[in-house]
A and B are shown apart, each in its own frame.
Chain A
């Protein structure tokens, strides 16, 4: 069964450093998403990406964040100058028709 793959599963970084979270969406999917879940809190939408550009973003997704699809398979979330409050589980998801999204297993980001 096709699946969304995220790497790494766990990333520890020092405050102020840049991190790149990687995702390989399902191959025939066209819509890509990043969500975030701070420990003990709700999952929150960050950004959606379609046709090589951002289609929607939440107020959380500020200039510190960027997304890219550098080649035909990867979809990345870059966080510049990480802060302690960026510590969370980050989920990538993809969808063929903008409806049912298939989620990855998540990357747990710990900023120390």
Chain B
């Protein structure tokens, strides 16, 4: 069974700071997802990665398959980025049986 660990669990930063959230997993995967969970509970998919790097606006996600590690970066952070960021891995079965991390609770203060 894949173990997905995220760090940090909680992160408070000032507006404008560069944010890094880390995710590591124990068993080889077919893909990794970064998700954003809003305070109301809704989940939005941000990225799906199987190699390399993806960028969308101020968000950048990278993955190192050999090291079993991924990072999510937020540049020029803003209070509206405050949310829980969740890493989830596909264990070869597509979105079936996604294994989720516990999430990183990010607060960006103005």
A residues near B (Cβ < 8 Å) are 31, 33, 35, 37, 41-45, 48, 55-56, 58, 89, 91, 93, 95, 98-106, 108
Within the complex, which residue of A45, A89, A104, A105 is in contact with B96, where a contact is CB–CB below 8 Å? A45
**Cα A65 to Cα B102 with chains together (Å):** 24
B48 contacts A by Cβ under 8 Å: yes
Find chain B residues with CB under 8 A from A98 CB.
94-96
Contact A56 B93 (CB under 8 A): yes
Find chain B residues with CB under 8 A from A106 CB.
41-43
With both beta carbons as reference points, the residue of chain A lying nearest to B88 in the complex is identified as: A43
Given contacts A42-B101, A103-B45, A106-B42, 15 further A-B contacts (CB under 8 A): A33-B95, A42-B102, A43-B88, A45-B97, A48-B96, A58-B97, A91-B43, A95-B95, A99-B90, A100-B45, A101-B33, A101-B45, A103-B44, A105-B41, A106-B43
Contact A56 B96 (CB under 8 A): yes
Contact B95 A42 (CB under 8 A): no
B106 contacts A by Cβ under 8 Å: no
Q: Given A31-B95, A56-B96, is A99 in contact with B41 using a C-beta cutoff of 8 Å?
A: no
| Interface residue count on the B side (C-beta < 8 Å) | 24
Contact A55 B96 (CB under 8 A): yes
Find chain B residues with CB under 8 A from A93 CB.
95
Contact B88 A33 (CB under 8 A): no
- Give the Cβ gap from B70 to chain A, nearest Cβ, in Å: 15
Find chain B residues with CB under 8 A from A105 CB.
40-42
